[in-house]
C-alpha cells in the first residue's frame, strides 16, 4: 500500500497555494501500523500554544529560515513536538496545500510512515497527548460529515470527523479528507489490479 501511495503522490498534480499574505507551514500526516492495521497519528494541542488551543491536529508548524523544504519543516516540527527523529520517517509525498481560515496559514501536508511502537517525547508546552486512529474508522461515512461547529464563540461549517470523544475539524479535517480520497483511489486500483500509470 505504501509504495502504491508513494507512486500516486508522485504522479498527481498537487494544489499549491500562492499568496504573499499567507504564512508558510507544513504538517506531517504520520501513517503507522498497529496489529497489521493502518492508523494515522494526531496530536492534541495544549492550552499554551498561540493558535488552535486544545484542538486535534497533525504535528507540524511554521516554516523557519533554516528549513530547506516543506518536508524538512514537517520533520523538524514533528521532532520538536513529539520526539520522532527525522531519520525514522519514510516520506511518501505531499498532498494538496490547505489554507487555515482564521490564521491565514498555507499548510503543506507531508505524508510519512513512522515506526510503531515508538518512544515518543511530548513537548509539554505544545502537546497534551497523542492519539492514533484507524484509517478504517476514518473511512467509515458514519464518522465523518459536514457539521456546524462553535469554537471560541464563532460558528464554522466544517467537515468533521469523530473518534471516541475527540473531534477533528477545520484544516486538519480538510487535509484528512483529501488524503483519505487518495487512499481510497490506491485501494481501489490495488483491489482491481489496475496500474497507477
- Say which CATH number the domain at 92 has: 3.90.79.10
Q: Where are the alpha helices (DSSP H) in the chain?
A: 2-11, 70-82, 135-139, 170-192
Q: How many domains does the chain have?
A: 1
CB 148 within 8 A of CB 71: no
pLDDT score, position 196:
54
- pLDDT tens track for 75-95: 999 999 999 999 999 999 999
80 lies in some domain: yes
22 lies in some domain: yes
Cα dihedral value 163, 165, 166, 170, nearest 10: 90
166 lies in some domain: no
pLDDT score, position 197:
42
The pTM assigned to this predicted structure is: 0.92
pLDDT score, position 195:
60
Distance CA 80, CA 126 (A): 9
- pLDDT tens track for 162-172: 999 999 988 89
142 lies in some domain: no
Distance CA 42, CA 29 (A): 8
Average pLDDT for residues 32-46, to the nearest whole number?
Answer: 95
174 lies in some domain: no
pLDDT score, position 50:
64
52 lies in some domain: yes
Distance CA 57, CA 27 (A): 9
pLDDT: is 29 or 170 the higher one? 29
Average pLDDT for residues 15-31, to the nearest whole number?
Answer: 89
CA diameter of the chain: 49
150 lies in some domain: no
171 lies in some domain: no
Run of H or E including 84: none
Q: Where are the alpha helices (DSSP H) in 38-148?
A: 70-82, 135-139
- pLDDT tens track for 81-139: 999 999 999 999 999 999 887 777 889 999 999 999 999 999 999 999 999 999 999 99
Tell me what percent of the residues of the chain surpass a pLDDT of 70: 94
pLDDT score, position 77:
96
Domain extent, residue 57, equals: 2-136
Amino acid at each position: 500500500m505504501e509504495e502504491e501511495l508513494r507512486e500516486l503522490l508522485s504522479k498527481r498534480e498537487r494544489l499549491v497555494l500562492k499568496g504573499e499574505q499567507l504564512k508558510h507551514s507544513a504538517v506531517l500526516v504520520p501513517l503507522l501500523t498497529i496489529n497489521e492495521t493502518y492508523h494515522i497519528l494526531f496530536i492534541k494541542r495544549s492550552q499554551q500554544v498561540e493558535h488552535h488551543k486544545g484542538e486535534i491536529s497533525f504535528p507540524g508548524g511554521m516554516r523557519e529560515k533554516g528549513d530547506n523544504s516543506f518536508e524538512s519543516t514537517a520533520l523538524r516540527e514533528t521532532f520538536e513536538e513529539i520526539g520522532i527523529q527525522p531519520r525514522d520517517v519514510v516520506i511518501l509525498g505531499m498532498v494538496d496545500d490547505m489554507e487555515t481560515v482564521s490564521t491565514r496559514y498555507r499548510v503543506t501536508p507531508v505524508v510519512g510512515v513512522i515506526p510503531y511502537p515508538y518512544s515518543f517525547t511530548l513537548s509539554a508546552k505544545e502537546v497534551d497527548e497523542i492519539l492514533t486512529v484507524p484509517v478504517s474508522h476514518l473511512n467509515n461515512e458514519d464518522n465523518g460529515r459536514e457539521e456546524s461547529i462553535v469554537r471560541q464563540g464563532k460558528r464554522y461549517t466544517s467537515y468533521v470527523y469523530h473518534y471516541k470523544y475527540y473531534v477533528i475539524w477545520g484544516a486538519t479535517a480538510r487535509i484528512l479528507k483529501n488524503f483519505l480520497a487518495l487512499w481510497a483511489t490506491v485501494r481501489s486500483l490495488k483491489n482491481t489490479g489496475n496500474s497507477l500509470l
